[in-house]
Structure 1
Amino acid sequence: MITLPHPPSGLTKATWTDADFPGMGWHDCRVHAVSIGEYADGTLPPARMLLDLDYIVRWVQPAGRDRNFTFWIAPATLVLERAWNIDGRLGPLHEVMEIADVHRLDSPDSNPEPLWHIEGQNFEFRLRAVGYTQYLRLPPQHVPRQALTSTERAGMSFAEQSFA
């Protein structure tokens, strides 16, 4: 018998990579923090782009007289590996950052790394990266909104460890 990491939400695994890209979606995922980090060993290129976000594992259709969707959401760390040529815009910063879509585009030149375009409400990033790993840090929680509270997500974090 195969045990899923979180049967109530239908989650099949807690760590995802760019190999899973076709089956993933980040629409309406709230971004809480962004970091450009370096590798400790001097690996080139030296940057990694990390996003602390609320990953919507599943949208739940309204039932009965309910008119609103509910959501299975888990706090996650999305790490874009060996990131370079990072460009983007932010603002206004008093509003929330929610991802509209993540695009993986073919390389526009002789470099093998794809071009990643993360577009959202009040921001966008374009960068080159070999790929990504996304870690769901806690089991998904069923909530009536598209984001977790600070308490529900155990604050902000760039931890690179999954709950399962």
Structure 2
Amino acid sequence: MIDLPHGPSGLSKFQWSQDDFANMGWHDCRVHAVSIGEYDDDTLPPARLLLDLDYIARWVSPARGDEHFSFWIAPATLVFEGAWSISGQLGPLHEVLEIADIHQLDAADSSIDPWWHIEGHNFDLRLRAAGYTQFVRLPPRHVLRQSLTLGERGGINFAEEPFA
């Protein structure tokens, strides 16, 4: 039997990287905030793309007689280090941002950094980066909707440390 860090949700670890890409999925994960930050030193490239999101650890099928799924969700920070060639679009901004999928695309030039395409409902981002780290900041909660309230998730946060 596999000893999971959070058995009820099926979450197998609290910190993920591009090495885990094949085992991750972001479909319908709500994005609460996006930040493009810089390093404190002269490191090049200087940008970091950070997403504050609700990571859906597990979709729970409806119980007999119910019609709707429930979800195990945890607030997380997704960080693309050394991001460059960032482009995209947002809008309309009166609706929530949800990820449809994240794609890793091979570089068609001499760069070793792949393209990352964050395809979303109401937004689309493309960037180059060697990889990413995702930090699960709080234990997953079982809820009847696909996102957490700001109170449940502790507000907007770009912390880069897993909760355990």
Number of the residue aligned with 1:104: 104
Q: Which amino acid in the other structure matches residue 5 of structure 1?
A: P
Cα distance per residue 1:28-83 (max 9 Å; x no partner): 00000000001112210000000000000000001111110000000000000100
Q: Which moved more, 1:81-90 or 1:37-46?
A: 37-46
Matches within 5 A, 1:54-73: 54-73=54-73
Structure 1 CA distance, aligned partners of 2:108 and 2:117?
Answer: 13
The amino acid that maps onto 1:115 is W
**Cα distance in structure 2, aligned partners of 1:88 and 1:159:** 24
List runs of 5+ in structure 2 lacking aligned partners: none
* Structure-2 separation of matches of 1:139 and 1:132: 21
Aligned to 1:151: 151
Amino acid in the other structure paired with 1:39: Y
Q: Which residue of 2 aligns with 1:80?
A: 80
TM norm structure 1 = 0.98
Aligned partners of 2:74 and 2:19: how far apart in 1?
20
User: Could you say which residue in structure 1 is the equivalent of 2:17?
Assistant: 17
Distance in 2 (CA, whole Å) between partners of 1:10 and 1:142 is 12
Partner of 2:161, secondary structure, is coil
Note the C-alpha offset of 1:10: 1.3
Q: Relative to structure 1, is the Cα distance of residues 67 and 2 closer, same or farther in structure 2, using a 3 angstrom cutoff?
A: closer
Equivalent residue, structure 2, for 1:138: 138
Give ranges in structure 1 of 5+ residues lacking alignment. Answer: none
State the secondary structure of the residue aligned to 2:22: helix
Q: Equivalents in 1 of 2:7, 2:125: separation in Å?
A: 34
TM-score norm. by structure 2 comes to 0.98
Amino acid at match of 1:55: Y
Give the distance between the partners of 2:9 and 2:102, measured in 1 at CA. 22
Provide, for residues 8-33 of structure 1, a one-character-per-residue CA deviation record: whole Å limited to 9, x for no partner. 11111000000000010000000000
Q: Name the count of aligned residue pairs.
A: 164
Match of 2:63, SS state, is coil
CA RMSD, 1 decimal? 1.0
Q: Which runs of 4+ in 1 moved over 3 A?
A: none
